[in-house]
Structure 1
Amino acid sequence: MNIASQENETRGNNSYTFNEFLEKRESLDWYRDEPFLQKAAKHYVRSDYDQVHEKIRSFSPTVSLKWNKLADQIARPEVRPYMLHFDAFNHRIDRIVRPMEMHQLEQEVFGEGMFSSKMTPWESFIKRMLTHQLGEAGVACPLTCTHGLIGILEQFPNPEIPELQEILEHTKEGINGEFAIGAQFMTEIQGGSDLPANLLEAVPDGKNYRLYGNKFFCSVAHADYSVVTAKISGSDKVSTFIVPSWLPGEKEKEKRNSYEINRIKWKLGTAELPTGEINYKGALAYPIGPKDKGIAVAVGIVLTLSRLEIGIACAGFMLRAAREANLYADFRMVFGKKVKEFPLAASKLKYIEDAAHRTTAGAFKIYDLFLKLEQPLNPGINSESPLETRKQLFNFRELVLLQKICTTNEGVKVLNEAMSIFAGHGVMEEFSSLPRIFRDVVVNEQWEGPRNLLLTQIYRDIQRVIDWYTPKEFVASVLDGAAHETIEKFSAKLEDLLQRPVLGEVSDASMEAATEWDEFCSDFFKAYQEVALSEIK
């Protein structure tokens, strides 16, 4: 080869590589390399910390490496779930087709027995927070819904329906090593989050019921069992039911329990998760909880656990975003300096990390309250309970709502800022998981009641208890540990807003009040997170 040919071979070649960044990212252990998470765990797990710490250290490499790779593989658009309605012999089977990697990940995640009596609540909590760092990955929502189904089964045991005990055993402890998956189907086309508008009909059939009608937005459509809301024939009140997807011996035959899945939804995020439209044609359903109190049961138990879990998920999302943004900013050189050496980038990195730590601290503190309360999941607060108990239950209820709307809202901002650290690579789906998790956060903001609905609920809740729990007492209790001036400021603002037309007819005054209420809730919950953070530090 002559000299000119050699020069042509080398011209235009670029030896730049991301290998150093990739090697560091792929070697990360999401627990070992997250000092703040360990610090929070030590603060709250207390005397059991050493035992739980070792179990999490053993678990973390699996989720950080193996499960993370599986999550990336199942996120590819060409393997999204789809419906196969009929087999080759024209039998209606409504099979939800998912990739092999999804089945493997699901089996391994549920095989951990996250809700088993053999696992302590704090071990489960931290394992779930790490698992949420995968994003939805087709397992986060199923875990959450299964927790809700277990919660309602434990709250309302019914020896007259032995099938309910079998379902509890199948979902909580597993049968022959297999753990069943739960779901919650409540939304209908005419009502969305307006559960009183449910039209699904439950027709009595001995001690059980048969369901007729449609549910329009059903995530975890592949579940083994679901919590379903419906109205008993002749009633205008909603009741709750547990519905098996297959009756005994029918799963292997792919013969569903007298219902059809019309289609799978195409969603912005949580794309790996099958969300379907279901048409019930006499499906067998087991009643659970007090009849005609289905809304209180669904909200007080199932939705409370789902909303609680969304806050835990957001902490996981933000911790991962902070970790990977910091890693990239320390690697990437632009204009002769590392990204982290530019003040604008450094300020964003600081905000991302601060938000991640605040959100994590808040999630731990709320879960600690959840564990300390006796029967924190209730279809309404019993007026005969001791006053202090009622106040703590009320605090928990409102904190769960505040956490759900505030952490999802801030989560969108945090993920967006983290992606900006990567510049153009931040939106490349194969370069980073952050775009996928960003979309999942956006969807989580709409799950289990969108922002405006829950803001309205919080306002009404505080008005409803004002005769036995004043706004000033509520603020002082929630922000216990904050500066006196902070408590006074939020107390005065809350008392003022309760006199304003936040929920009045639309006018300039009501819209201004509503905007201030939205801002108040965000600032109030952030103050709570700051208290939680100060307690860990």
Structure 2
Amino acid sequence: MNITAQNQQTRGRNSYTFDEFLDRRSNLDWYKDDPFLQKALKKFAGPHYEQIHHELLNFSPAVSSQWNLLAERAARPEVRPYMLHYDAFNHRIDRVVRPMETLQLEKEVFGEGLFSSSMQAWESFAKRVLIHQLGEAGVTCPLTCTMGLMALLEQYPNEDHPELQEILQHTKEGRNGDFAIGAQFMTEIQGGSDLPANVLEAVPDGKNYRLYGNKFFCSVAHADYSVVTAKISGTDTVSTFIVPSWLPGDKEKEKRNGYEINRIKWKMGTAELPTGEIQYDGAQAYQVGPAGKGVAVAVGIVLTLSRLEIGIACAAFMLRAAREANLYGDFRTVFGKKVKDYPLSARTLKRIENAAQRTTAGAFKIYGLFLRLDQPLNAGIPVDQPLELRKQLFNLRELILMQKICTTSEGAEVLRNAISVFGGHGVMEEFSSLPRIFRDVVVNEQWEGPRNLLLTQIYRDIQRVADWYPPADFVENVLAGASKETMNRFAEQLTDLLQRPVCGDVSDASLEAAEEWDTFCDSFFKAYQTIALEEI
């Protein structure tokens, strides 16, 4: 070959490669290589730390590698869930078709028995922090909904319905290695988060009920069992029910329990998760909890757990964003310097890491309070409890609400900043999982009550208990460990805001008060997270 031919073959070739970054990213162990996560667990797990640490060292490689790969493959648009309404013989089956990657991931994740009585609470918590780093991935919302269903059944055992005990056993401990999946179907087209506006009808049928009507936004449409809110015929209050997706012997025949799935919704995030519209036409249902108290039961138990888990998920999302942004900042060279060596980029990376660690610390601390309290899942704050316990239960309730709205909002900001570290590659779906997780965060902002709804609830909650729990005491208890100056400042702001028209008619004064209330809740919760971070 002459010199001219050689020049033609090499001219314009670019030898740049991302292989070093890809190797480092794929070889990361999300637990072993995260000293902060280990440090947080050590503080909160106490004497159980060494055992849990050992379990996580064995558990984490699967999440970091195999499960992550399954989650990425299942996120491709061409394999999104879809409905197969009829079989070849014209039988209505309403099969939710999902990719094999999701089915395998689901089987392995649920097969861990994360809610089994044999697994310690902090071990389950830490494993879920790792699993949430996958993004929603078609499995974390089902995990959360299953946890809520189990908590509901444990809170309200009913000997008249042995089926409910079997459902609890199937979801919590498994049946011949098969762990059932739970869901919660509460939203109707006219109400959204306004559960008292439900019109789904529960018709008495012996000791059971038959459901008739529509639920409009039903995630985990493929679940085995669901928590459903409905009004018993002739009443105007909501009750809570457990509905099997198939009656005994019918799952194999794909004969659903008196309902149809009209369609799967197309969402901007959590796309691997089938969210459907369901039409009930005589579905057999079992009542759970006091009749007519369904809103309090659903919110106090099921939605509380979901909101708690969303905060944990946001911490996990941020940990992953910080890890991968730092890794890329240390790899990528532009204009002769690594990305991390530019002050503006270094500032962004530091801000992302601080938010991730602060959010994780807050999630650990809130979960620690949750585990310490006696029966923290209640339909309201029991008035017969000792005053100090009532205050602690109230603190937990409000912290869970604040965590939900603040971490989802900051989570979107953190993911967006992490994406920016990658430049143009940050928005390439095959290059990074961060765009997918960003969309999941945005969807999580809307789950279980959007921001304005929960801001209103927090405001009214604090107003309602002011006679036995003064605002200044609430601030002092929640921000224990902060400086006196910080406590006084927040106490003065809260006392002032409770006298202003935050929830009044729209006016210049109410708009200003609403803006200040939003800012106050965000600053107040970040102060709580900062104390948690300092304690770790």
Please give the range of the TM-score, normalised by the shorter of the 2 chains: over 0.9
Q: Structure 1 residue runs of 4+, over 4 Å off? A: none
Return the letter of the residue paired with 1:169: Q
Task: String of CA shifts for 1:37-86, please: whole Å, max 9, x gaps.
Answer: 00000000011100010001110001000100000000000000000000
Partner SS, residue 6 of structure 1: helix
Partner of 1:166: 166
* Mapped partners of 1:398, 1:347: distance in 2: 32
Shift of 1:380: 1.1
* Mapped partners of 1:149, 1:80: distance in 2: 26
Matched, 1:448 2:448: yes
Partner of 2:297: 297
Partner of 2:391: 391
**Pairs within 5 Å for 1:44-63:** 44-63=44-63
Partner SS, residue 351 of structure 1: helix
Return the letter of the residue paired with 1:475: V
Partner of 2:274: 274
Partner SS, residue 272 of structure 1: coil
* Mapped partners of 2:391, 2:238: distance in 1: 27
Partner of 1:175: 175
* Mapped partners of 1:222, 1:519: distance in 2: 39
Partner of 2:154: 154
Partner SS, residue 216 of structure 2: strand
Task: String of CA shifts for 1:466-490, please: whole Å, max 9, x gaps.
Answer: 1100000000000000111000000
Partner of 1:192: 192
Task: String of CA shifts for 1:266-293, please: whole Å, max 9, x gaps.
Answer: 0000000000000000000000000000
Shift of 1:2: 1.9
Task: String of CA shifts for 1:298-337, please: whole Å, max 9, x gaps.
Answer: 0000000000000000000000000000000000000000
Shift of 1:530: 0.5
Return the letter of the residue paired with 2:301: I
* Mapped partners of 2:292, 2:56: distance in 1: 42
Matched, 1:209 2:209: yes
In structure 1, stretches of 5+ residues that fail to align are none
* Mapped partners of 2:83, 2:178: distance in 1: 24
Task: String of CA shifts for 1:213-263, please: whole Å, max 9, x gaps.
Answer: 000000000000000000000000000000000000000000000100000
* Mapped partners of 2:4, 2:251: distance in 1: 70
Partner of 2:510: 510
Partner of 1:97: 97
- Between Structure 1 and Structure 2, how many residues are aligned? 536
* Mapped partners of 1:194, 1:227: distance in 2: 16
Partner of 1:121: 121
Return the letter of the residue paired with 1:508: D
Matched, 1:106 2:106: yes
Shift of 1:197: 0.2
Return the letter of the residue paired with 2:440: D
Partner of 2:457: 457
Partner of 1:350: 350
Shift of 1:519: 0.3
Return the letter of the residue paired with 2:466: I
* Mapped partners of 2:33, 2:521: distance in 1: 33
Task: String of CA shifts for 1:405-430, please: whole Å, max 9, x gaps.
Answer: 00000000000000000000000000
With the length of structure 2 as denominator, give the TM-score of the two structures: 1.00
In structure 2, stretches of 5+ residues that fail to align are none
Return the letter of the residue paired with 2:138: G
Shift of 1:389: 0.7
Partner of 2:489: 489
Task: String of CA shifts for 1:333-387, please: whole Å, max 9, x gaps.
Answer: 0000000000000000000000000000000000000000000000111111100
Q: Relative to structure 2, which stretch is displaced further, 17-26 or 379-388?
A: 379-388
Q: Relative to structure 2, which stretch is displaced further, 130-139 or 378-387?
A: 378-387
With the length of structure 1 as denominator, give the TM-score of the two structures: 1.00
Matched, 1:434 2:444: no
Partner of 1:137: 137
Q: Relative to structure 2, which stretch is displaced further, 3-12 or 269-278?
A: 3-12
Return the letter of the residue paired with 1:387: L
**Pairs within 5 Å for 1:317-356:** 317-356=317-356
Task: String of CA shifts for 1:70-118, please: whole Å, max 9, x gaps.
Answer: 0000000000000000001100000001111111000000000010001
Partner SS, residue 445 of structure 1: helix
* Mapped partners of 1:156, 1:243: distance in 2: 15
Partner SS, residue 241 of structure 1: strand
